[in-house]
Amino acid sequence: MKRILFLPLFILFFQVYGVLAQEQIPHLKQVGNKYQLVVEEKPFLMLAGELGNSTGTTMESMEPVWPRLKELNLNTVLLPIYWELFEPEEGKYDYQLIEDLILEARKHDLKLVVLWFGAWKNSMSSHVPSWVKLDQKRFPRAISKEGELQEILTPFSDNNLRADLKAYQNLLRFIKEVDNSQQTVILMQPENEIGMLPSARDHHPLANQKFKEKVPGDLMDYMVKNKGTLNSEFSKIWKNNGSKMNGSWEEIFGKGLHTDEIFMAYYFARFVDKVTEAGKKEYPLPAYVNAALNRPDVKPGDYPSAGPLPHILDVWKAASPNIDFYAPDFYNPRFKHWNDLYVRQGNPLFIPEHNFDNTVAAKALFAIGHYEALGFAPFSVEQLPDEPLTPKEQKLAQVYEIVHQIKPILEANKGQNRIEGVLLDKEVNEMTFRLGDYEFTAEHTFNLGWEPNSGEDIWEPAAAIIVQTADNEFFYAGYGVSLKMKNLEKPNSRIGILKTDRGYFEEGKWKVFQHLNGDQTHQGRHIRSFIDDASIQRFTLYEYK
Ligand code: DGJ
């Protein structure tokens, strides 16, 4: 009798275990009003960096890089896999490089975001294999308005789609085979900075044919269904042309370069969606697409047009349901402006590329604090791996270390309006925000004349994350920021600092290193750390009348 019972239980155990194993694939999870990347059933914040474009092409080139990534305190590397190296001959895949990279990343306790440099990399098709480059009849190119062939595969060709899709699918199949149980690869980026150049749209005969057809039903349905929540730039175009429900591209959106861009965005997104869908059928890792941001007052086609840019993100969302989110690359100073545009409609924020300048450490803090971002990555993070760390690299390493320490409190308070980020520089040297009953005013410490180099022209940006952990208890993690507080619910009371400790987290437990007071708190007036002091403080507040 016992034996008969045991067998079904045994089968049940394996069925349940199978389901659990399935659930453990890295995935996105909504927590309150934000998103988390979950890896091995635990929240994972990507303290990342992206490799320069050619660094990961051989293991020899990577040798000095691995220790450098650890010195910078990264937990994640964004690493391209190149179609030309992956499928050097049609149908013959070379898995060696990806396998070696995964194994080496594991040895260094690093996770990988795999960037598929497939059909498109920064608009161009420079990374497609030679058998694709050389057979332009079979793998047709986009054509400019002037009739010139471009080194850009047209997204309107089924051959182009099938070839790219097959390679990507094989890549995902292989990643699953070698990595399913270890989860080194946690996220995919199909293609890189898609965009149309030098005309706003492709003028290949296949494209011209599609341009004459009606706007496809899935885009129209999406627009109708989401009419009230479409991004304003996009809905305005539709409205200005009479909010029609049926018609050609120019009937629905009007004549002009903006319509060329909308049209291209739809077909680029359809292409990437099919590639991603095929990959997800093999191994459903989450996937995002990145964008080269456009400069204001530059026309579509003069900038790489039709990528997942804020003004056409609705088109991308309608046409690429297999993409989990869309991400901005920053070689552009307006950090808050663009991020505010990207987080609309609940798009989770991830910064896969930021020019590796002296602002990255501060912007990482701000992105993780203010937007509760999934992660942050300076571009070409390895730079000169054999040299000592430069000041901007040291700052990044310090910031990643303190963020790594405060992860438990970030996770516990995620998505509940209990986390804020501050980013200050010479122009924006003060900001206010609310956490619980308190209003905080954050100022750059240069502003207050306390720093030895206050008054100089160049202000290093300052930044901090503030987390509310109880009604009157907060953590500060950052540098160059001074905080003063008032209680908005008790306007007649004044607020003082009851206690401030500087410390660190060890295995998730808070340890006090120093009890701060006196000059360190400006005799009880402020919570602050100077520009060269990236550190963590826990503080409690009290009121007096
Ligand atoms: C953005 C691209 O996505 C990167 O691959 C790289 O080309 C940088 N631009 C510029 O170096």
* 279, 329 Cβ separation under 8 angstroms: no
All residues at 6 or more sequence positions from 167 whose CB lies less than 8 Å from its CB, including other chains: 83, 86, 87, 93, 118
Instruction: Determine the Cα–Cα distance for residues 132 and 128; give it in Å rounded to an integer.
Output: 6
In the reported structure, the alpha carbon of residue 195 is separated from the centroid of ligand 1 by a whole-number distance in angstroms of: 13
Q: What percent of the chain has pLDDT over 70?
A: 94
Residue 376 has which token pair? 């942050």
All residues at 6 or more sequence positions from 476 whose CB lies less than 8 Å from its CB, including other chains: 464, 465, 466, 483, 527, 529, 536, 537, 538, 539
Q: What are phi and psi of 433, to 5 degrees?
A: -155, 165
Q: How many residues does the chain have?
A: 545
Burial class (CB in 10 A: 0-12, 13-18, 19+), 401: middle
Residue 498's alpha-carbon distances to 72, 468, 522, in angstroms, are 35, 15, 13
Q: Judge if the upstream peptide bond of residue 388 is cis by omega within 30 degrees of 0.
A: no
In this structure, the residue with its CA closest to atom 5 of ligand 1 is: 53
Instruction: Determine the Cα–Cα distance for residues 330 and 354; give it in Å rounded to an integer.
Output: 5
Residue (of 292, 346, 293, 304) closest to 324 by Cα position: 346
Res. 453 pLDDT band, cuts 50 70 90: low
Candidate from 122, 331, 356, 382 with most ligand 1 atoms within 8 A of CB, to mutate: 122
Q: Which residues of 228-262 are buried (b: 16+ CB within 10 A; e: fewer)?
A: eebbeebbebbeebeeeeeeebbebbeeeebbbbb
Instruction: Determine the Cα–Cα distance for residues 318 and 263; give it in Å rounded to an integer.
Output: 12
Encode pLDDT of 480-506 as tens digits: 999 999 999 999 999 999 999 999 999
Q: Is the dihedral of CA 353, 41, 276, 81 positive or negative?
A: positive
Encode pLDDT of 182-192 as tens digits: 999 999 999 99
In the reported structure, the alpha carbon of residue 228 is separated from the centroid of ligand 1 by a whole-number distance in angstroms of: 35
In the reported structure, the alpha carbon of residue 331 is separated from the centroid of ligand 1 by a whole-number distance in angstroms of: 9
Q: How many CB atoms lie within 10 A of CB 411?
A: 15
Strand partners of residue 519? none
In the reported structure, the alpha carbon of residue 227 is separated from the centroid of ligand 1 by a whole-number distance in angstroms of: 35
For the chain, the first-to-last Cα distance in angstroms comes to 76
Res. 459 pLDDT band, cuts 50 70 90: confident
In this structure, the residue with its CA closest to atom 2 of ligand 1 is: 122
The reported pTM is 0.94
Mean pLDDT computed over 103-122: 98
Q: Flag whether pLDDT at 13 surpasses 60.
A: no
Encode pLDDT of 314-365 as tens digits: 999 999 999 999 999 999 889 999 999 999 999 999 999 999 999 999 999 9
Half-sphere exposure of 261 toward its Cβ, with a 13 Å CA cutoff?
A: 27
Instruction: Determine the Cα–Cα distance for residues 354 and 357; give it in Å rounded to an integer.
Output: 8
In the reported structure, the alpha carbon of residue 542 is separated from the centroid of ligand 1 by a whole-number distance in angstroms of: 49
Element (H, E) at 536: strand 535-544
Could you give the residue ranges of the DSSP H alpha helices within 108-156?
130-133
Instruction: Determine the Cα–Cα distance for residues 199 and 201; give it in Å rounded to an integer.
Output: 5
Residue 501's alpha-carbon distances to 9, 464, 484, in angstroms, are 53, 16, 16
Instruction: Determine the Cα–Cα distance for residues 206 and 264; give it in Å rounded to an integer.
Output: 12
Encode pLDDT of 267-296 as tens digits: 999 999 999 999 999 999 999 999 999 988
Encode pLDDT of 180-234 as tens digits: 999 999 999 999 999 999 999 999 999 999 999 999 999 999 999 999 999 999 9
Residue 129 Rama label (left phi>0; alpha psi -120 to 50; beta): beta
Residues with CB under 6 A from ligand 1: 53, 122, 192-193, 329, 353, 379
Encode pLDDT of 128-155 as tens digits: 999 999 999 999 999 999 999 999 999 9
Half-sphere exposure of 147 toward its Cβ, with a 13 Å CA cutoff?
A: 0
Q: Which numbered atom of ligand 1 lies nearest the CA of 380?
A: 11
Q: Are strands 34-39 and 27-31 parallel, antiparallel or unpaired?
A: antiparallel
Residue 520 has which token pair? 């360190």
Strand partners of residue 115? 80, 189
